[in-house]
Amino acid sequence: MEAEDLYIKPGPVPGDFPSRTAPMTPPTNPLAPPCSMNTPPRPCPVAAPLVGVMMMATPPPPFPVVEHTDSSSSQSESEPDVDDVVTLLNWALTACRHTVKKQVCNDVAKRLKLFEDMWKSGKLSLPVRRRMNGLVQELKSCNWDAADEIHRALIVDHVNEVSQWMVGVKRLIAETRNLNPDLLHTQEVDQSLDTSKHN
């Protein structure tokens, strides 16, 4: 018998277990999947897009609210001052006294006083007060046609309120129209001087 036949290959000894493999060391990279074949690979987490996060974190800028206000309309809608209106009417009346008869001027003065009393006692509606404020502004600017147009509109629309005193305003417009512009200017200067003296 040859030597190879006599050689017995070493086999597992009964009661002896195969050598166990060394435990795996965990990977240094926590995101990398383990090398073991028994554990299924874990999916790598996908980071949320930064653009979406930034859009959610930053609200859109608010649109500026632009208020459309018309200074002229807001001014016309305000309550006129009776003293301002009466002062301009008396300014025109004083200018007329240089050339107009005294009796005519006194009658106009009575009408203007009635107008003032009705305003202060609350007998004049807001549209009438606003239109009279516009009338005296036109009168001050020597816009006779515009002032006359306002007085006509007041007679048509508010005859019950203006019938007692509007005739005096009408006469005042007519007489002021016929005045020399220098008289109006002189009267305005005199009035400003009187005001400065009182102050």
Q: What is the secondary structure of 74-107 as a DSSP string?
A: HHHHSPPPHHHHHHHHHHHHHHHTTTS-HHHHHH
Mean pLDDT of the chain: 74
Distance CA 179, CA 183 (A): 7
Q: Which of 2-6, 116-120, 174-178 has the lowest mean pLDDT?
A: 2-6
Q: What are the φ and ψ backbone dihedral angles of 161, each rounded to 5 degrees?
A: -85, -30
pLDDT > 70 in the chain, percent: 53
Q: pTM higher than 0.85, yes or no?
A: no
Whether 175 and 96 have beta carbons less than 8 Å apart is answered as: yes
pLDDT for res 79: 87
| Residue 143 pLDDT greater than 80, yes or no | yes
Residue 134 has pLDDT above 80, yes or no: yes
Between CA 47 and CA 53, with CA 49 as vertex, the angle to 5 degrees is: 110
Fold annotation for 79-198: RNA Binding Protein, Prp18; Chain A (1.20.940)
pLDDT in tens, 63-98: 544 444 443 444 445 789 999 999 999 999 999 998
pLDDT at 92: 93
* Per-domain residue ranges of the chain: 79-198
Helices (H) and strands (E) in the chain, counts: 10, 0
